[in-house]
Amino acid sequence: MQNDMTTLNPQFMYMILILPSLFGLTLIGEGMNKLIHEEWSGIISLIFGAISVGMVIFAYLFFSSYLAGKAA
């Protein structure tokens, strides 16, 4: 049984996207916590977290369509 980590393997794509998504979710959680405690600097964390999660979603869509075209 072969366990190669190639770019066509979906596990590779999930691995490179999981850490940035956790970072974005952490920023969103920190921003919401600050906003709940009426610290208005939490808006900045919330915005950067949303941008980070948006970039992860865009990268997932880009890589999944690119790898689907490459596999065909």
Which tops the pLDDT comparison, 61 or 34? 34
Inside any domain, residue 2? no
Structure tokens at 34: 């600050």
2-32 pLDDT, tens digit per residue, is 555 566 667 777 777 888 899 999 999 999 9
Inside any domain, residue 5? no
pLDDT of residue 71: 62
Inside any domain, residue 23? yes
Inside any domain, residue 6? no
Range of the domain at 36: 12-71
Taken in order 14, 11, 4, 65, the sign of the CA dihedral is negative
The DSSP secondary structure of 15-70, one letter per residue, reads HHHHHHHHHHHHHHHHHHHHHHTT-TTHHHHHHHHHHHHHHHHHHHHHHHHHHHHH
Inside any domain, residue 17? yes
Inside any domain, residue 51? yes
Q: How many structural domains are present in the chain? A: 1
Q: Is the pTM of this model over 0.85?
A: no
| Mean pLDDT over the full length of the chain | 84
